[in-house]
Amino acid sequence: MVKTQDARSLSAESQEALSMLAIRAVETGTTRGDVAKQFGVARGTVNRWVKQFRQKGTRALKA
């Protein structure tokens, strides 16, 4: 099992940067599962970031 971190423990700036990098990876074709593994977060977190981004754009990811 891959250990994930709670992204909420990161600074606001780090959370924003991490979520944007993850979204770019998904948008360029990387699976959400692979993105989660690459960034060490849960797949549900990636799903939430992508959903928020698609609904409200980058402002949705501002910490």
Give all domains of the chain, ordered by start, each with its CATH number: 7-61 (1.10.10)
Range 2-25 average pLDDT? 80
pLDDT of residue 3: 59
Contact 60, 53 (CB under 8 A): yes
CA distance 36 to 47: 9
pLDDT of residue 7: 67
pLDDT in tens, 27-51: 999 999 999 999 989 999 999 999 9
